[in-house]
Structures are given as C-alpha cells and as structure tokens.
Amino acid sequence: MIIVGGSASSKLAARVAKLLGCPLVNSEVTRFPDGESYVRVNYNFKDEHAVVVQSTCHPQNDNYIELFLLLDAIKDLGAKRVTAVVPYFGYARQDKRFKPGEAISVRTMCKLIERAGADDVITIDIHEDETMANFAIPAYNLTAMSLIGRYVARLDLRDPVVLGGDQGALTRAKRAAAEFMADYDYLEKTRQTSTKVTMRPKRLDVSGRDVVIVDDIISTGGTVIEAIKVLKKQGARGIYVACTHPVLVGNALQKIIAAGARKVMATDTIEHKISVISVAPVIAESIR
C-alpha cells in the first residue's frame, strides 16, 4: 500500500503512513502561468493499492481539482486500486436544494470523485451520513468522536457534561462522552440566517459543571458562540469546545475565546494551530 499526500493533507498523510509503515509519496502541485493546476506524482504505482489523502478545505476548489487530478493520474499510472481519503469533505453542507434551482454541490463532488478513479472513499464526520449514499462505490464515514473523547478525558474536568451542538450531534456527544463515562446531551438550535443561530434551553442542568461542546465543524463560530452564551447564563463552570473540522473562517477562533471558551480543540482533518488530535489512527485502522 502506498500513501499519497495531497497538498492539503501532507502532514496527516505522513502520520497515516508512519502508523502503517507504508511508503509515502507527496504530490507536487504548481501552477501553469494562466493559473491552472499542475499535479505530478512521481512513483511507480503499477499493481499497487494507492491511498490518496486530501482534504477539500479552503481553497476548496483548488483542493478538489488536485484530488481529481491525483486520482485520475494514479489510476492511469497502473494502480490496481485507488482509495480516496477525504478527511474534510468540502461542499458537504450544500446537500439539498434549499431554494429552487440550486446545485446540490456535494452530490456533484461525489460523482466527480468516483468518475476521477476512486475505487472506494473514506471521510470523517461528514455533515450528513446520508451523503455517502451518493456513491456507487464503497464509501465510509468514520468518526473522530472517540479520539476527541479520549483527549478530553485527559483534561482535569469537574463533573463534565458533553453537549452536541444540536439534536443531530447527540450521537457524537454520546460517543465522546463514553470515553470518560461523562453525561451527554444536546442543545436545540434554530438557524435564523447563515450566520445567526438561536438556542433553546436544554434539559440538563449544567450549573457548576464543566461542559464540553462537540460539533462536526466550526465555521463562522456562530453556533458555538450562541451555545457558550446559553451555557454561561445557566451557570456552567468551564466551557470547552471540540470539533472534528476546524474550518474557523476569519477571526472565528478569537471570537469563540472572547465569548468564554477555556479551550478550543480540533483534529487534523484541517491543519490549524488548534489541531491537537490526529485522526491518523482511525484512517489507518480503516485501510489496514
């Protein structure tokens, strides 16, 4: 098995290769003078199983193009099987036609990954698990929540409660909480606009307790900041925030800290200074 690191995930690919004891090849990506992407992967893939690791985070379009070019080139270079590992799956939140005439963007990305040459696909904590049904090839949605739970367990928390950002995140909260036998629950939220979210009071009493908010993704930070406000009003002691994908647009991280989070943690599906938890073990386990 050969691990191929795309430019968005070269560090994570190296961690996966190290865990598996496999060769690592990095893609060479440059630009043609007119701005088009040039991708080269200099390795003899003949009859090999190639695992391409490439998150499609910002700049999403460039990272998707690199992924498509890598998959197609590696297949064309003779690989017998090509696995696409897309730790952060860009466009995943545009998974429905919210207004007439809209593109269902994530469906298009699934078609293109498959058509480019992937024989199977792996992602982590994609926004909606149902997205994987867009693939005709085997497609798996792994979760980082146990890893997050194990990391949080090492913090010295008092009577901790793990909260999902919404009802859909209850399963995530349950998984993380199971790692250190903590209580878990969720916050009900209503999205007013793309950046404004309101929360309904939750049922667990968090007064005097440490709370860990877990979410799949933090983008603008609006959801988490609203949650922090609600939890502070309810007397939470310390508020900790953990997510799989630290998209963190603009100064989202500073705003979350200013809102009162004691610590913000994330995985390395996207490389960020808060990416303190590596998803390499779950990826390695799934392709071993």
Chain residues binding ligand R5P by CB under 6 A are 165-166, 197, 215-223
Q: Is 229 tagged catalytic?
A: no
Closest CB to ligand R5P among residues 114, 125:
125
Tell which residue, 72, 123, 104, 169, has the closest CA to residue 270. Answer: 123
Closest CB to ligand R5P among residues 44, 195:
195
Q: How far is the CB of 11 from ligand R5P (least distance, A)?
A: 24
Residue for token digits 């995985």? 267
Bridge-based pairing of strands 211-218 and 183-186 is unpaired
Contact 131, 89 (CB under 8 A): yes
Q: What is the dihedral of CA 278, 281, 282, 286, to 10 degrees?
A: 150
Closest CB to ligand R5P among residues 66, 216:
216
Q: Which of 189, 202, 255, 273 is catalytic?
A: 189
71 by DSSP, 3-state: which? helix
Closest CB to ligand R5P among residues 160, 221:
221
Q: Which amino acid is at 11?
A: K
Q: How far is the CB of 33 from ligand R5P (least distance, A)?
A: 36
Closest CB to ligand R5P among residues 84, 145:
145
Contact 132, 120 (CB under 8 A): no
Q: How many CB atoms lie within 10 A of CB 117?
A: 19
84 by DSSP, 3-state: which? strand
Give the chain's largest Cα–Cα span: 61
Phi first, then psi: what are they for 269, rounded to 5°? -60, -30
Contact 273, 129 (CB under 8 A): no
Q: Report d(CA 188, CA 2) in Å as an integer.
A: 44
Residue for token digits 């498959």? 114
Closest CB to ligand R5P among residues 44, 254:
254
Q: How far is the CB of 258 from ligand R5P (least distance, A)?
A: 15
Contact 42, 25 (CB under 8 A): yes
List active site positions.
189
